[in-house]
Amino acid sequence: MQKAEFINVQMQEQALAAQAHAGSGGADDAAAARLAIRRVSKRYGTLWANRQVSLNVQAGTIIGLLGPNGAGKTTLIRVCAGWLTPDEGDVVIAGHRQSLTAIAARAHLGVVSRDAPLCEELTVAETLFLRATLCGVAAAARTDVCRAAIDEYRLATFARRRIGVLSTGMLQRVAIACAMVHSPAVLLLDEPTVGLDPEIRRHIWECLVRLKERGVALLLTTHYLEEAARLCDEVHLMIRGAIAFSIQPDAMDGSAARLERAYLHAVAHEPTL
């Protein structure tokens, strides 16, 4: 009982800290951030999918978005990807404002999402080569970049197979490899490990940690609390389109169980938030 209260108090403190952090906009942080989401609101008709969301993702950090279905996580990813234009606020990627025509912003962005599928008729190697060409990788470096991606994401055994015949796990690794082929500063991942077996999931986690160590700023949405606890430097809980509170898993010793309790508590008390 005492432990639960301790968690609640800790959560409230962290929520206040997160709101203060987001509210002030963290001007210095935002300037240094690879991905800065500044007071973004997005509305579908009368439904607010995102309300005044502010987030900064620094280089070499993984920021997680948790929340129940319909909380607005995917909408936020879509806004960051440039697929949706926010009704209010803006998104800045590596110093470039994201918009429908912002080529400079997209040059620094990689996206792994079900909204961005791969061409089923091409092989894995061809897909990587195509992506490298489209993303402007220099002709001389293209083959090396593709080969390195195949090695790094363990795609060699099925590099000549068509995308259409790959399993979900293989597909997800290819998607990450494609998103990273032009070495972007920011990687957006929308539920990257959904439907994967534990081994593949672990491998994808390793890949993401490597990217983090390489200085990439990662923003990922997930429903897996264990994933959030293990990977993320900071987890934001979204409810009804707004960030309800933020937690640093390190402060909870990376415990998924404690994160789960905090999450369930927040969701259960959602109307009061």
Q: Does 126 bind another protein (CB under 8 A)?
A: yes
CB of 54 to another protein, least distance (A): 21
Show the DSSP H helices in 153-249 as ranges. Answer: 168-180, 198-213, 225-231
State which residue, 135 or 171, has the beta carbon closest to another protein: 135
Find the binding residues for another protein in span 69-98 (CB under 8 A). Answer: 75, 78, 81-84
> At a CB cut-off of 8 Å and minimum separation 6, what does 228 contact?
64, 66, 222, 235, 249, 256, 259
Which residues 20-79 are close enough to bind another protein by CB under 8 A?
44, 75, 78
Q: Which of residues 102-121 bind another protein (CB under 8 A)?
A: 103-104, 106-107, 109, 111, 114-121
User: Site for another protein (CB under 8 A): which residue of 51, 131, 236, 261?
Assistant: 131
Can you list the alpha helix ranges (DSSP code H) found in the chain? 2-23, 27-32, 73-81, 103-106, 124-134, 139-152, 168-180, 198-213, 225-231, 256-268
Closer residue to another protein, CB minimum distance, 129 or 263: 129
Q: Are 51 and 73 in contact (CB under 8 A)?
A: no
Which residues, 208 to 247, sit near another protein by CB under 8 A? none
From residue 137 to residue 176, the character string flagging contacts with another protein as x (rule: CB under 8 A) and all else as - is: --x----------------------x--------------
Report how far apart, in Å, the C-alpha atoms of 257 and of each of 2, 113, 172 are: 16, 27, 27
Q: Residues 135, 189, 225, 231: which binds another protein (CB under 8 A)? A: 135
Q: How far is the CB of 117 from another protein (least distance, A)?
A: 5
**Which region among 122-130, 144-152, 234-242, 261-269 touches another protein (by CB under 8 A)?**
122-130
**3-state SS record for 87-123:** CEEEEEECCEECCCCCHHHHCCEEEECCCCCCCCCCE
Q: Choose between 18 and 84: whose C-beta lies nearer to another protein.
A: 84
Residue corresponding to tokens 């979900």? 168
- Contact (CB, 8 A) for 233 and 62: yes
Q: Which residues bind another protein (CB under 8 A)?
A: 44, 75, 78, 81-84, 100-101, 103-104, 106-107, 109, 111, 114-122, 126, 130-131, 133-136, 139, 162, 182
